[in-house]
Structure 1
Amino acid sequence: MAGEPPSSGAQMGVNSRRHYNVVHPVDIETPPLASPAPAVSPPVYREIKHFKKWVVWLIPVFVAANVVMFIITMYVNNCPKNSVSCIATFLGRFSFQPFKENPLLGPSSST
Structure 2
Amino acid sequence: MELKDLKTGMVVETRDGTKYLIVNQDGKLYGIGMNGYMSLDGGYPHKSDMTWPDDSDLDIMKVFKPALRKFSIMLSDERNCIWNREKVRKMTASEICKELGYEVEIVKE
TM category (shorter chain) comes to under 0.3
Q: Which has the larger radius of gyration?
A: 1
Give the alignment's TM-score, normalised by structure 1.
0.20
Compare the two structures and name the one with the higher helix fraction.
Answer: 1
